[in-house]
Structure 1
Amino acid sequence: MNLDRIDLNLLRVFNVIFEERNLLRAGKRLNLSQSAISHALGRLREALGDDLFVRSADGMQPTPRALTMSAPLRAALQQIGSALGNEPFAPATTERDFVIAANDYMTVLLLERLSQHMQQQAPNTNLIVRPSTRIDLAGQLDLGRIDIAIGVFAEVPPRFASMPLWTQTDALAMRHGHPLAARDVTPQDLAAYPLLAVSLGGAEEGAVEGFISERGLARESEMFDRAALEAATAPHAPRFRLLVPHSLAVPSLLKASDMLAVLPSSLARLFAQREGLHTAALPYASRTAQVRAVWHSRNENDPAHAWLRDLLPGFVPQ
């Protein structure tokens, strides 16, 4: 195809429609009317000989041709922006929204203090937190709807960049005054007492060995090392009285029972400090998990994005 026949502004329109899947929202982002967006899309369809997007109940769905075009086109637009020079980023005056995906306890551990810092240093920014447990993280990162995803990942595809934030293992938590609080916990105790753990999806949702893979990004679904626990209590199977999807519900559930909770060590420390729970070491060695920040590599040289990434390590739990 002769590139001279394509108005490069149409490619910007394509990119925004692909991200928004809605002509009205695309028009608002580009400061264009819906009719102007429709006209631009029509010109691009005619030039490429493809519908590119098809209306559906879920919005404008991309055709196979559009899906093939999207990633290299976004990368090319990013390169053009870099070649022309990025606008200097001034935290004190920027009005940018930052979108981070994280589960509930990581939001408390990391983003609570980060939000306070941003309020002081970048008062006009907005920090939007999306749940990392019920959305297609990889797809949202691909579309630019999430800036950074924070979590434990078994695999990170090469189109994404990442950095480690902190490491954690498993620990035990129980109510203050629990019968086991005065002595070391044994594997037999873990088989005898009912257990509580945080599970964000099991095999019925496609989890394999505690991880759910979406578009190559494998995120943690069970927030404990099930294999190590089952090996330690064999030949008896541990009894999970409760598997909950929200970790911040754990303290109230423990305070009213003799259940033992198997939790990430960073979360157990948080509950000990804020909720008065008793924590103990497990009587077996569990895996060491690394909490990472993941972002799309096309944002590597975005000054605002780099500013946010550079902040994160300063607020990791100790």
Structure 2
Amino acid sequence: MSFNKLDLNLLRVFDAVMEERSVLRASQRMCLSPTAVSHALARLRELLDDELFIRTTTGMRPTARSLAMAPLIREAWKSLKAAVDTPTFVPRESTRRFTIAVSDFVTTVMVPNLLALLRREAPLVDLVIRPASWIDIAEQMDLGQIDAAIGIFSDVPVRFRASSLFAYDDVLIASSSGQLDELSVETFSDLSIAVVSLHGEHEGIVDGFVSERGLARRSEMFDRAALERIFSLSSRSPRVAVSLPHFLALPTLLEDTDLAAIVPRPLAKLLVRRHPISMYELPYQTASEEVSVLWPERNGDNAPQDWLRGVLTRAAEPLRCCSGSVRASSFVHRSRTA
């Protein structure tokens, strides 16, 4: 096939079907008839000698060739668009929709600040939040389907960039109706606790991280290594009675029970203010975890994306001010004020 003979409009159709995984939705997006989209796909299949998409009951499934082509074509279209578009972005007038991937922890402690900023500075901008634990973040970024992700990352591939937002350590929370006294290692060892692992018993979890397409992100939302280290020489250790894929259910699970939970300090402070829950310092030191915003490197010089990262950073400012590990010997929160 000669590239000079290729109709570039066929690649526009390919890109739309790749993102929508549906001929009908792609046709609506491009203001074409479904028949025109099908004919364009047929021409491109013939030119490339590949099926490109296989029709299934759940939509159009891309072939290996399509998956390899998609990010390159997407990047090419963005470059062409940038070459002819006027590079302006006015947040107050913009009607853009941004998609971010976050956990329920980050949604609870940071997104309210983000929405307040959007209301003041970009009231027409829409926000789509996807659960970070349910999607392959690296793949979604490669395909251009999410703009940014917030979490704890390591082994970040060169095609991505990351910037720190805030840090936190672990604390313990329990129902205020309980009778927990100062937590020593001995008293802590008698507890039944709940922990959060975003991906459950995923086989690929190593040292609390799950790796997908070269990107490692934290799955176990507590410092397991510190917990195991403090009890490595003890005959007793706390029972991990419940392992959850999210934090959402914790206030209900802790209510009027003897169950306690290890959670990030910023979340504990918020829950203490809103629920009959008390916060306690753990009887051992946990690591300070750094929460970062992650984005594709190709978006580095994109005005709307630059603005999004800036507003995310500002939304995290209250958490940075209060994220230090302020630990005091035998310190206990018994009230509902943080």
How far residue 89 of structure 1 moved from its aligned partner, in angstroms, is: 1.5
Counterpart in the other structure of 1:209: 207
1:263-299 residue CA offsets vs partner (Å, 9 max, x unmatched)? 1122122222333532222222222211111122232
Structural RMSD (CA): 2.0
Counterpart in the other structure of 1:52: 52
Question: Are the aligned partners of 1:269 and 1:279 in contact in 2 as well (CA < 8 Å)?
Answer: yes
Counterpart in the other structure of 2:166: 166
Q: Partner of 1:26: helix, strand, or coil?
A: helix
TM-score normalised to the size of structure 1?
Answer: 0.91
Taking the aligned partners of 2:212 and 2:70, their CA distance within structure 1 comes to 18
Q: Does 1:264 align with 2:281?
A: no
Question: Are the aligned partners of 2:92 and 2:123 in contact in 1 as well (CA < 8 Å)?
Answer: yes
For residues 1-318 of structure 1, the aligned pairs below 5 Å read: 1-176=1-176, 178-181=178-181, 183=182, 185-234=183-232, 235=234, 236-316=236-316, 317=319, 318=322
Question: Are the aligned partners of 2:300 and 2:306 in contact in 1 as well (CA < 8 Å)?
Answer: yes
Question: Are the aligned partners of 2:21 and 2:61 in contact in 1 as well (CA < 8 Å)?
Answer: yes
Q: Partner of 1:252: helix, strand, or coil?
A: helix
Taking the aligned partners of 1:226 and 1:220, their CA distance within structure 2 comes to 12
Percent of pairs identical after alignment?
41
Aligned length: 316
How far residue 177 of structure 1 moved from its aligned partner, in angstroms, is: 5.6
Taking the aligned partners of 2:273 and 2:249, their CA distance within structure 1 comes to 16
Structure with higher helix content: 1
TM-score normalised to the size of structure 2?
Answer: 0.86
1:184-239 residue CA offsets vs partner (Å, 9 max, x unmatched)? x2222221111122222333453222222222222222110112102212333430
Q: Partner of 2:309: helix, strand, or coil?
A: helix
Question: Are the aligned partners of 2:74 and 2:143 in contact in 1 as well (CA < 8 Å)?
Answer: no
Question: Are the aligned partners of 1:174 and 1:254 in contact in 2 as well (CA < 8 Å)?
Answer: yes
Taking the aligned partners of 2:59 and 2:157, their CA distance within structure 1 comes to 27
Taking the aligned partners of 2:17 and 2:301, their CA distance within structure 1 comes to 23
Q: Partner of 1:27: helix, strand, or coil?
A: helix
Q: Partner of 2:241: helix, strand, or coil?
A: strand
- Name structure 1 gaps, 5 residues minimum: none
Question: Are the aligned partners of 2:45 and 2:51 in contact in 1 as well (CA < 8 Å)?
Answer: yes
Taking the aligned partners of 1:251 and 1:55, their CA distance within structure 2 comes to 44
Taking the aligned partners of 1:128 and 1:205, their CA distance within structure 2 comes to 29
